[in-house]
Amino acid sequence: MPATAPHPVPDAHGRNLYNTDPDLARLLPLYLPAALCAHLQPHLQRLGGLAGGVLDSLAQTADKHPPTLEHRTRTGLDRQRILKHPAYVEMERVAFGEYGLAAMSHRGGVLGWPDPLPAAAKYALTYLFVQAEFGLCCPLSMTDSLTRTLRKFGAPALLERYLPGLTAQVLDDLTQGAMFMTEQGAGSDVAATATRAVPDGEAYRLHGDKWFCSNPDAGLAMVLARIDGAPAGMGGVSLFLLPRTLPDGSANAYRIVRLKDKLGTRSMASGEIRLEGARAWLVGEAGRGFPQMADMVNNSRLSNGVRAAGLMRRACSEAFFVAAERQAFGRRLQDLPLMRRQLLKLLLPAEQARSMVFQTADALRRADAGEAGAHPLVRLFTPLIKFRACRDARKVTGDAMEVRGGCGYIEDWADPRLLRDAHLGSIWEGTSNIVALDVLRAIRRERALPVWQAHVQGLLDAAPLHPQARRVFDATFFRSLCLLVWASG
Ligand X SMILES: Cc1cc2nc3c(=O)[nH]c(=O)nc-3n(C[C@H](O)[C@H](O)[C@H](O)COP(=O)(O)OP(=O)(O)OC[C@H]3O[C@@H](n4cnc5c(N)ncnc54)[C@H](O)[C@@H]3O)c2cc1C
Least Å distance, CB 137 to ligand X, is 12
- Any idea what DSSP says for residue 250? P
Residue 385 CB, shortest distance to ligand X, in Å, is 17
Among the residue ranges 182-190, 198-206, 299-307, 347-355, the one whose residues contact ligand X (CB under 6 A): 182-190
Question: Is 146 or 227 the residue whose CB approaches ligand X more closely?
Answer: 146
Interface pick for ligand X out of 16, 182, 238, 292 (rule CB under 6 A): 182
Closest CA to 182 of 221, 154, 220, 145: 221
Using the minimum distance from each CB to ligand X, give the nearer residue, 27 or 241: 241
Task: Select 187 or 405, whichever has its Cβ closest to ligand X.
Answer: 187
If binding is defined by CB under 6 A, does position 428 make contact with ligand X? yes
Q: Which stretch binds ligand X (CB under 6 A): 315-323, 351-359, 424-432, 465-473?
A: 424-432
CB contact at 8 A, 92 and 140? no
Amino acid letter for position 482 = C
Tell which phi-psi region holds residue 112, choosing left (phi > 0), alpha (psi between -120 and 50) or beta.
left
Of 40 and 181, which has the nearer Cβ to ligand X? 181
- Residue 391 binds to ligand X (criterion: CB under 6 A): no
Pick from 83, 125, 245: which is nearest to 175 by CA?
A: 245
* Least CB distance to ligand X at residue 239 (A): 12
Rule CB under 6 A: choose which of 12, 55, 136, 181 binds ligand X: 181
Q: Does 188 bind ligand X (CB under 6 A)?
A: yes
- Answer for the pair 267, 214: CB distance below 8 angstroms, yes or no: no
Of all residues in the shown chain, the one whose CB is closest to ligand X is: 187
Which of the residues 346 through 375 are near ligand X (CB under 6 A)?
none
Among 270, 298, 317, 360, binds ligand X (CB under 6 A): 270
Contact (CB, 8 A) for 206 and 275: yes
Give me the DSSP letters along 20-36. Answer: T-HHHHHHHHHHS-HHH
* Rounded Cα gap, residues 467 and 488, in angstroms: 31
Contacts 24+ apart (CB under 8 A), 251-256: 251/79, 252/278, 252/279, 253/205, 253/277, 253/278, 253/279, 254/206, 254/278, 255/80, 256/69, 256/80, 256/82, 256/213, 256/216, 256/217
Tell how far CA 100 is from the center of its chain.
15
Query: Which residue from 400, 424, 443, 451 is in contact with ligand X, where contact means CB under 6 A?
Result: 424
Distance CA 400, CA 323 (A): 10
* Least distance in angstroms from the C-beta of 371 to ligand X: 31
Q: Does 179 help bind ligand X (rule: CB under 6 A)?
A: yes
Cβ closest to ligand X, residue 131 vs residue 141:
141
Output the smallest distance, CB 441 to ligand X, in A.
11
- The contact pattern for ligand X, residues 429-458, with x = CB under 6 A and - = no contact, is xxx-xx------------------------
Element (H, E) at 18: none
**Residue whose CB is less far from ligand X, 66 or 154:** 66
Distance CA 99, CA 242 (A): 27
Specify whether the CB–CB gap between 138 and 146 falls below 8 A.
no
Q: Which is nearer to ligand X, 323 or 435 (CB)?
A: 435
Site string for ligand X, 200-239 (x = CB under 6 A): ------------xxx-------------------------
Say whether residue 141 binds ligand X (CB under 6 A): no
Of 84-92, 397-405, 410-418, 420-428, the window that binds ligand X (rule: CB under 6 A) is 420-428
Residue 149 interacts with ligand X (CB under 6 A)? no
Task: Report the Cα 424 to chain-centroid distance in Å.
Answer: 11
Kindly list the residues in this chain that would bind ligand X in the complex (CB under 6 A). Answer: 179-182, 187-188, 212-214, 262, 265, 270, 424, 427-431, 433-434
